[in-house]
Amino acid sequence: EPSPHLPAPKDVEVYSYNFQSLLRWSPVPVENGSVLYTAHYRTGFYEEWSEMGCAHTPRTQCGFPPQLRRRRWSILLRVRAELGARASPWAHAAPFVAERNTTLGPPKVNSVSASPDSLLIRVSPPFTPDPGDILRYHVSYWENTTSPTEKKLSESKTLFQIGNLKESTLYCFSIQVQLKIYSGHWLEGEQSAPECHRTALS
């Protein structure tokens, strides 16, 4: 006996990378017909649900509209399945705060210039910073030997130097970005893939 009830979408979650966010869910299986979905949002301090711009869509994801690109807002999201005149119960995602819940990618290494005792590195952040953002770059570097010893440095500028290196020697480094958030903590980004460069001969 097929149930007249349409199941709610499962696995409702926000995927957020470099502050670009979308709501995703698993498709609702039905015997026949095609299921459509409608997603809503509201902010933590406002009771009213609003359209996300994804009403009656066959897709199982919905990008955030521009008015939700506020990093510190607590955002509540819900989605339901629809089949003809039938609608499922709403399925809710966990509350989302971009500043806490986004994943920051690795910074982009734009150029590396080698001198005999240093590497000069120019990077750019993985997202467009807002005015007033405090970013720092956490650099791990090591001599490319059989038993490398890792050293670390932290820089707040996008152009910085790894110094006190040996000449004509291969060094590798990996960088992650850290963003200071409202709570005073640092949101840590992903490490860049290690890159190796040889210092110059003096």
Taking residue 26's Cβ as centre, other Cβ atoms within 10 Å add up to: 12
Residues 51 and 123 occupy one common structural domain:
no
43: tokens are: 């902010």
Q: Looking at residue 81, what is its pLDDT?
A: 97
* Structural domain harbouring 23: 10-100
Q: Looking at residue 32, what is its pLDDT?
A: 84
Last residue of a domain, one of 100, 125, 159: 100
Q: Looking at residue 88, what is its pLDDT?
A: 95
Q: Are 60 and 37 in contact (CB under 8 A)?
A: yes
What integer is the mean pLDDT of 169-183? 96
Q: Looking at residue 148, what is its pLDDT?
A: 84
Q: What is the pLDDT of residues 159-171, one digit of tens each?
A: 999 999 999 999 9
In order, the DSSP letters of 160-184 are EEE-SPPTT-EEEEEEEEEEE-TTS
CATH number for the domain harbouring residue 123: 2.60.40.10
Q: How far apart are CA 181 and CA 4, in angstroms?
A: 47
Residues 52 and 119 occupy one common structural domain:
no
Residue 3 predicted with pLDDT over 70: no
Residue 1 predicted with pLDDT over 60: no
- How long a stretch of residues is the chain? 202
User: Domain for residue 82, yes or no?
Assistant: yes
Residues 81 and 137 occupy one common structural domain:
no
Task: Give the chain's domain count.
Answer: 2
Q: How far apart are CA 176 and CA 149, in angstroms?
A: 18
Residues 116 and 93 occupy one common structural domain:
no
Please report which confidence band the pLDDT of residue 151 belongs to, taking 50, 70 and 90 as the band edges: very high
What integer is the mean pLDDT of 91-120? 97
Residues 191 and 130 occupy one common structural domain:
yes
Q: What is the pLDDT of residues 11-56, one digit of tens each?
A: 999 999 999 999 999 999 988 889 999 999 999 888 999 999 999 9
